[in-house]
Structure 1
Amino acid sequence: MVEKALVKVGILFGGKSVEHEVSLLSAKNVMDALDLDRFELVPIFVDKAGRWLLVDSLDALLEKTAAESDGAAVSYGPVVSFVPGGQGRLIHLSDMASSTYVDVVFPVLHGLCGEDGSVQGLLKLAGVPYVGSEIIGSAIGMDKDVSKRLLRVAGIPIAPFYAFKRGDAIDCRKVLEELGLPVFVKPASLGSSVGVAKVVDASGLQAAIDAAFKFDAKVLVEKFIEGREIECAVLGNDDPVASVVGEISSSHDFYSYEAKYVDKKAVKLTVPASIDSTIADRVRALSVQSFHVLCCTGMARVDFFLSKDGSLVVNEINTIPGFTSMSMYPLLWQATGLAYRTLISQLIELAMQRFAQNEELKTSF
């Protein structure tokens, strides 16, 4: 009896992003959960210079990174690049005759050049399946300005906001007259609350905007919505399903980067959330609707604010949610009855199914 070949899964992590370290934490969990009876792991590390390198494991990488910080010479694996139309071929740039192949890629990249459509476009040109949303869904989901405008047109409730590009004339007084205080200032295309500030005094608005512009070329100023922070996970392609609903509460002033990844004691995750079943059903329905409106596939986490009067506001969608030990996406699915390992397997299967469907499309007329 011939044994079935393992599916080679390229775990793509790191990235040229302020969320580089978060990606390492997520990738560690994904790698540990991979079903090695079905899949073969191929770790692909993207360093902060943007180089793609094969590594033996994330543990080895972390050891090398520690040595590097001590000034020791560090040797990673070969620098590689996908070949356009190569169906998963990674050519070794130091030895062009050498190649590594993967059958599917699992991007565990957060932020710019990771979940904004850039990598997705590269992988599409390479002719290899990949987990998560395609180019358009990734790009839309990453840009909070564009995604909020699309949600608003679809009749999905969002918080009032202004969006400014670098160089725009900004009338802070006019903004506050319309939005009131406090407001949140955030880069348009970053996650993990990087560069986000809560402004409680009019005199601090311009400084917060200037600080956010250090991370992005477009900045949002958003009306503060008082309410509970509710999250829901979505899984699927054409017929996605929603998980149970969870709640995040923090002793910090808001769910900041530090609260998410540094001060674990500051955060309480409640799964499932203690909310009325009718509201929970509404959250799930809005999550799936938002997933469709924003052209998502594979996976996404949809974040809400729940006001005291029971009204819901969609805060944002995350097309490559975190997979750290504190991340809600896998926790929500575990509470729904989908084990972590099974979730990772299903995400890979969804990627390969979508790729096979797209391959059936005509390319000539």
Structure 2
Amino acid sequence: MKTILFLFGGCSTEYEVSLQSAHAVLQALDHSRYTPLAVGITREGRWLRYGGPLFHLETGDWEAQPDCVPCALSLDRGDLRLLWLDGSGRSEPFDAAFPVLHGKNGEDGTVQGLLELIGAPIIGCGALSSALCMDKDRSHKLAALAGVRVPRGHLFRRGDDAGEIARAAEALGYPLFVKPVRSGSSFGVSRVAAPEHLAAAAEEAFRHDREILLEEAVPGFEVSCAILGSTALTVGAVAEFQVEGGFIDYGEKYADGGTLRIYCPARIPPEKATEIQETAKRIYRCLDCRVFARVDLFLTPWGELVFNEVNTIPGCTPHSCYPGMMQAIGLDFQTLVSRLVELGVEA
């Protein structure tokens, strides 16, 4: 029986989302085949080996439980062990690692780099693809080289002239979007309808990253593709996102009472769904993704596909979009979790 190291929490604005995903994945894990080794990372960055009841992940008070032990990974390559830092000298071996982390300091290649350094098989994308997919500007550049249309945009760094930002916005035309280059769950993203709101939107985006992207507002709606695999790829049913105002922010994604509506399968012709799936696979491969990821695109009123982003660790609850797209092709959540672990361990 293999032991799987699960990482959850993290120094990210998506900390709570990670707890919900980890709770669901740990519940769905096939315990007849795999032994979980759960490690939570607090908002402050402390690593704690957690052996308590799973419901404390849902309630968010897991780190206050007596079952927490300070811990760290052995950094000797090939020595896959979790070291207890309580003075006992105890350690626990593991066979592979599943980072159930979202956003910065978890989904952006940082944790994946650590795991690659020690030679741990990763259930998910590696360091390079994780970093690229988190970076909206550089992932767009690579997708464009692969022949996929991307939104028109301009990159700016902290300290750049405000006049240049204003002129770039005028050239793109309003409305437009201002985004941190590296951020998840739409944190720091603003839809700007007029020039007088641009400065505040840029300031908000710079709160989340040192680089920001001004991007054209692509007409139409967002579609999404769940992809599973490393060599042979399984693609879920295409999902369609509809929201009032056309902007899916953090509240629309996770808060009750939002206007976001998800249709899976998407309300589009079968041939268009096939085109979306093939385009998503091209993006997945060109960004070096493996095991699983969710590819999001825009579908314009005239049927053109425009790349938006890739989520390398999408939400992993039974009600999240990625499992829903896989459910639509017959992969239930428990089976999906088993396939994810199998793919990561095999790689």
* Superposition TM-score tier, normalisation by shorter sequence: over 0.9
- The 1:76–1:194 alpha-carbon spacing in structure 2 relative to 1, beyond 3 Å, is farther
What SS does structure 2 have at the residue aligned with 1:308?
coil
Partner of 2:19: 24
Q: Is the 8 A contact 1:10 1:42 kept in 2?
A: yes
Work out the CA distance in 2 between the residues paired with 1:64 and 1:25.
Answer: 9
Tell me what 2:345 maps to.
352
Q: Secondary structure at the residue paired with 2:237?
A: strand
Structure 2: how far apart are the matches of 1:94 and 1:235?
39
Q: 1:62, CA displacement in angstroms?
A: 5.2
Q: Which residue among 131, 137, 147 is the counterpart of 1:145?
A: 137
C-alpha separation in 2, matches of 1:317 and 1:60: 30
| Alignment-derived partner of residue 40 in structure 2 | 45
Q: How many angstroms apart in 2 are the aligned matches of 1:316 and 1:296?
A: 13
Alpha-carbon distance change, 64 to 285 in structure 1, aligned in 2, over 3 angstroms: closer
The count of residues paired between Structure 1 and Structure 2 equals 344
Could you say which residue in structure 1 is the equivalent of 2:256?
263
Alignment of structure 1 residues 216-365 onto 2, 5 Å:
216-251=209-244, 254-354=247-347
**Residue of structure 2 aligned with 1:36, choices 31, 44, 56:** 31
2:106 matched to 1:111?
no
How many Å apart are 1:60 and its aligned residue? 3.2
Shift of 1:152: 1.3
Does 164-173 or 14-23 show the bigger shift? 164-173
CA distance in 2, matches of 1:352, 1:333: 20
Residue 38 of structure 1: CA displacement? Answer: 1.2
Q: In structure 1, what is the equivalent of residue 73 of structure 2?
A: 82
User: Between the two proteins, what is the percent identity of the paired residues?
Assistant: 39
- Residue 336 of structure 1 aligns to a residue whose secondary structure is coil
CA distance in 2: counterparts of 1:329 and 1:64, whole angstroms: 23
Unaligned runs of 5+ in 2: none
1:158 matched residue in structure 2: 150
1:249-304 deviation per Cα after TM superposition (whole angstroms, max 9, x unaligned): 12365111001111255221111111011111110001100001111111110101
State the Cα distance separating 1:8 from its structure 2 match. Answer: 1.3
Q: CA deviation at 1:192?
A: 0.6
Task: Label 1:117 to 1:134 Cα distance change in 2 as closer, same or farther (>3 A).
Answer: same
Mapped contact 2:158–2:210 kept (Cα < 8 A)? yes
Q: What's the TM-score, normalizing by structure 2?
A: 0.94
Structure 2 partner of 1:363: none
Q: Counterpart of 2:61 in structure 1: which amino acid?
A: T
In 2: Cα distance, 1:9 partner to 1:95 partner: 24
1:188 maps to which residue? 181
Alignment of 1:198-217 (within 5 A): 198-217=191-210
Relative to structure 1, the CA distance from residue 213 to residue 269 in structure 2 (aligned partners, 3 Å threshold; closer, same or farther) is same
Name the CA distance, whole Å, in 2 between partners of 1:342 and 1:87.
30
Q: CA RMSD in A?
A: 1.8
- CA contact under 8 A between 2:18 and 2:102: conserved in structure 1? yes
Confirm or deny that 1:8 pairs with 2:3.
yes
| Equivalent-residue separation in structure 2 for 1:353 and 1:128 (angstroms) | 12
Residues of 1 paired with 2:257 and 2:120: CA distance?
37
The 1:169–1:64 alpha-carbon spacing in structure 2 relative to 1, beyond 3 Å, is closer
